[in-house]
Amino acid sequence: MSTKLMSGKKGFVFGVANDHSLAWSIAQELHNHGAQLAFNHLPNPKMERRVRQLAEPIGSKVIVPCDVQDDEQVRSAFHQARETLGELDFVVHSIAYANRDALYNPFYRTSRADFLQAMDISAYSLVSLCQHGLAHMAEGASVLTLTYMGSVKMVPGYNVMGVCKAALESSMRYLSAELGREKKIRVNALSAGPVRTLSSAGIDGFAKILEHYPTKAPLARNVTHEEVGRSGLYLLSDLSTGVSGEVHYVDAGYNIIGW
């Protein structure tokens, strides 16, 4: 009997920027377990090149431009994936952005424009992917988003992104209830502990967060890219068919500590 969890499954992974991206950690697990994958890239030649370098060697036939601020690009990305792969069994949303000012200045000084942009790209985009992806997803498909504990606790330097993650997690619950009734689609969030990536490099004091976790976490260490990837695989595979609307922490247990 095959031990491959994703044989015959097809899905769209949004949010690979380079080989440190958490989306790439998840994509590698999905690929190793037999899934066929579509990828997006930000619509510029540099990002296209970077994503192609990773996606083509694993046989991806769909590598398309998609800035999630543009609904037309989201619609078109799903259409292209559907044409080549057929109905999708899963969608990974691993996207976040906030202007540098909004991350480095005190939260109370966040401008309206920076707040709305961060919310649009980091939270509303999940709604947009579900809205435009629904018709292209199979019954029982699984949608996964990436979040961080700064949604429910004040983490110094996380600022507007914490507020975006709170909106993202709440959106995930509403989507889970609606898409579950509509098409038995599961929607979950994976809350990763701190991991070095392009985005995390933009968080003021990220190095301190990385140093702090092992001092408090039950496992006395940080998590790895591979651990985030494997937990993503679990939430996207049939191992988790009874799980929806959940925020699943992969943080060496840090979130349970109260002192």
Instruction: Specify the stretch interacting with ligand NAD by CB under 6 A; choose among 26-34, 145-153, 178-186, 239-247.
Output: 145-153
Backbone angles phi, psi at 54, to 5 degrees: -90, -45
**Binding-residue pattern over the window 15 to 54 for ligand NAD, x denoting contact by CB under 6 A:** xxx---xxx------------------x------------
DSSP annotation of 134 reads G
Where are the alpha helices (H) located in the chain, listed in sequence order?
22-32, 45-55, 71-85, 100-104, 112-119, 125-133, 159-183, 206-216, 225-236
Q: What are residue 190's phi and psi, to 5 degrees?
A: -110, 120
Q: Please check whether residue 62 is in contact with residue 80, taking contact to mean a CB–CB distance below 8 angstroms.
A: yes
Q: Which of 108, 98, 119, 96 is nearest to 204 (CA)?
A: 98
Residue 66 beta carbon to ligand NAD: minimum distance, rounded to whole angstroms: 6
Instruction: Examine residue 194 and tell whether it contacts ligand NAD (CB under 6 A).
Output: yes
Shorter beta-carbon distance to ligand NAD: residue 137 or 209: 209
97 is catalytic: no
Single out the residue of 27, 68, 137, 236 in contact with ligand NAD (rule: CB under 6 A): 68
Size of the site for ligand NAD (CB under 6 A): 25
Residues in touch with ligand NAD (CB under 6 A): 15-17, 21-23, 42, 67-69, 94-97, 121, 146-148, 192, 194-195, 197-200
